[in-house]
Amino acid sequence: MKFYNIFIKYRLQLGIIALALAIFVNFNSGFWPSLALYIIAVLCIFTHFFIGPLRLIQEYLEGGDFEGAEKILNGIKYPGLLYKPIRAVYFTLKGNIAMSKQDFDAAEKHMKKSLDLGLPMKEAEGANKLQLGMMAMQKGNMKEGESLIRSAIRLGIPDKESSALAYLQMCQIMMQKREFRAAKDFFKKAKAQKPTTDQVVDQIKQIEKYISRMPG
């Protein structure tokens, strides 16, 4: 696995070296002896631009090293050449890193690009729409925020913490609209996720103080 990651990291350089050697062998010994080198060069260069180095980002994200992940992303000079589903993931990662830096305008721009391209997994699309919905709510755009969060719930959200957050946000929206029965239903769904994140648990405790006193 480590060897494969090293190969991905230096794939373009290897492709260029293979191409230079292929041209040298072709000039001195003819085309057929150089064919294997040409194939290696084409495969290395093509996969560098078509697939990219996104696999390398996983270990950075798992270790919480967003700076390292961003460095890999910034190394992709021509994202438009990436295979479409991989390009969608590229913009999702750009959006997530922008979110971690509190750059909400950039995060929104990247995530919308990702959704326009179409993510390969519905859960990933759901997570994207949840984040966009939360950002819309922060900007005071209640209608768009509710629509995006509802869509995220329908598509499915990959982890229980985010699912609980989505249900809690819907609960608060329903409370503001005085649709108390719906608010209680979303609150029950949020609790059913059994979240453990301090932020989400605290929100549940705050809402629980007065939701039982609501009519409906």
The domain that holds 73 is classified in CATH as 1.25.40.10
Domain membership of residue 216 (yes or no) is no
DSSP three-state, residue 141: coil
Provide the residue range defining the domain that includes 126: 54-211
Residues in the chain, total: 216
pLDDT tens track for 156-207: 998 899 999 999 999 999 999 999 999 999 999 999 999 998 989 999 999 9
Predicted confidence (pLDDT) at residue 139 exceeds the cutoff of 90: no
Q: How many domains does the chain have?
A: 2
Give the end of a domain, one of 10, 25, 50: 50
How sure is the predictor about 44, in pLDDT bands with cuts at 50, 70 and 90?
very high
Do residue 10 and residue 29 come from a single domain?
yes
Domain membership of residue 104 (yes or no) is yes
Do residue 133 and residue 41 come from a single domain?
no
Do residue 122 and residue 21 come from a single domain?
no
Do residue 42 and residue 60 come from a single domain?
no
Share of residues in the chain with pLDDT > 70 (%): 99
Give long-range contacts, CB 8 A cutoff, 24+ apart: 43-51. Answer: 43/15, 44/11, 44/12, 44/14, 44/15, 44/18, 45/12, 45/15, 45/16, 45/19, 47/11, 48/11, 48/12, 48/15, 49/78, 49/81, 49/82, 50/81, 50/82, 50/83, 51/82, 51/83, 51/86
Q: The whole model's pTM is what?
A: 0.81
Predicted confidence (pLDDT) at residue 1 exceeds the cutoff of 70: no
pLDDT the model gives residue 158: 85
